[in-house]
Amino acid sequence: MRPGAGEVPAATDGPGAGGQDGDGLDGEGAAERGSGPGLTVRGLTVRFGATVAVDAVDLDLLPGGILALLGASGSGKSSLLRGIAGLEPLAAGRVRWDGVDVTAVPVHKRGFGVMFQDGQLFPHRDVGGNVAYGLPALGGRGRARRVAELLDLVGLAGFERRAITSLSGGQAQRVALARALAPQPRLLLLDEPLSALDRALREHLVGVLRSTLRATGTTAIYVTHDQDEAFAVADRIAMLRDGAIVQLDSPERLWHAPADAGVAAFLGYAPLLGEQDAAALGWPDPIPPEHVLAVAPGGLIARPADQGDDSADAGPAGAILAIGEQIDHRGYVTVEVELPSRTRAEAQASHRVAGETAYVRLVAGRCVAVPRVAQPR
């Protein structure tokens, strides 16, 4: 990450927050208190009829920062991105860049680039023609050199003369990325750019995206519902729920300190144990009121009941629990267990467990107490 890249906490209240109130939307307002360098969003609200898709969101992103918007389907990620881009009318709120209000500036004059799931390449132009489309007026040679540089950056050196129709889905998205980067947008907005691709390709291209954005120092907002993508690409992640940001943190902090049970569950923590189950599994600390114990993958483990307690060197004592279905995975088995509260959970085992019960215990370093529900910030 470049020095200084990242996001800063939103000011508690920004000028113009909470209303599009006709206060001189000429797009060239002077820098105002609470709006620093880079992107400042205050009170951004998007409505579709009675649906509030984005609910008064505040957001700051410093130049060079890469922010992922992560959340379940319908949480408002795309609407927030489109609102920032100017592609969706705002019911309220302000968008500023370097302190200058761009709320009323047309999309194509904001200096922002947008990349969508389907790339939206021009089929009648070749690869080079697509990438060159967004380049500012450069001489023929300069233009060709820049196209070559960009194609090299996304791993498609020499593809200039290829027809768009001859590209694979992954190649097409790489061309779309090169085209989006060509005009050097001051902010690149990416809306699920990899979601139409298969898993293996996504995993590869996430690396291409990450290195390309960092190598070019591009300031970016990346919408995804895929946790791995968000963690791999971004240096800050905003978790959205019901149109509001429930947590905005570094990937590491988001993982180690989810704001609440909903965030933890979305990130893959399971089960979320109440006091009774945690205590029955030997969890040594009290669970604070209105909290649950969120268990990360690999944090609940099962072994044959007759092999007994191995907790002396491994953490909390466990319990003998009834087991159900067992499913094989690469390198481990998930074993369905019945918790003392009668709810079911999945424990991990190194091998299939014989019999009707297993010895099940928690792994101390893989459990975290989180509030049941956090208030949106």
Ligand X SMILES: Nc1ncnc2c1ncn2[C@@H]1O[C@H](COP(=O)(O)OP(=O)(O)OP(=O)(O)O)[C@@H](O)[C@H]1O
Residues in contact with ligand X by CB under 6 A are 48, 51, 53, 71, 73-79, 225
Q: In sequence order, which residues have a C-beta less than 8 Å from that of residue 218 and are 6 or more positions away?
A: 64, 66, 181, 185, 188, 212
Token pair 């898993």 is found at 199
CB of 264 to ligand X, least distance (A): 19
CB of 159 to ligand X, least distance (A): 30
Q: Compare residues 86 and 315 and give the one whose CB is closer to ligand X.
A: 86
Q: Compare residues 84 and 349 and give the one whose CB is closer to ligand X.
A: 84
Q: Compare residues 5 and 197 and give the one whose CB is closer to ligand X.
A: 197
Residue pair 160/126 in contact (Cβ under 8 Å)? The answer is yes
CB of 222 to ligand X, least distance (A): 12
Please give the full DSSP string across 104-142, using - where no structure is assigned: TS-GGGTTEEEE-TT----TTSBHHHHHHHT--S--HHH
Q: Compare residues 226 and 336 and give the one whose CB is closer to ligand X.
A: 226
Half-sphere exposure of 332 (CA within 13 A, CB side): 12
CB of 255 to ligand X, least distance (A): 21
Q: Compare residues 14 and 76 and give the one whose CB is closer to ligand X.
A: 76
Token pair 């189950």 is found at 277
Asked, as a colleague might, if the bond just before 271 is cis with ω within 30 of 0, I would say yes
Both tokens of residue 360? 């099940």
Residue pair 309/315 in contact (Cβ under 8 Å)? The answer is no
CB of 139 to ligand X, least distance (A): 41
Q: Compare residues 73 and 375 and give the one whose CB is closer to ligand X.
A: 73
Half-sphere exposure of 343 (CA within 13 A, CB side): 11
Cβ atoms < 10 Å from Cβ of 3: 6
Q: Which of 352, 362, 303 is nearest to 327 (CA)?
A: 352
Residue pair 206/66 in contact (Cβ under 8 Å)? The answer is no
CB of 19 to ligand X, least distance (A): 20
Quick one: angle between helices 169-181 and 199-215, nearest 10? 20
CB of 254 to ligand X, least distance (A): 17
Q: Compare residues 159 and 231 and give the one whose CB is closer to ligand X.
A: 231
Q: Compare residues 73 and 165 and give the one whose CB is closer to ligand X.
A: 73
How buried is 141 (Cβ within 10 angstroms: 0-12 exposed, 13-18 middle, 19+ buried)? exposed
Residues 277 and 275: their CA atoms lie apart, in Å, by 6
CB of 43 to ligand X, least distance (A): 17
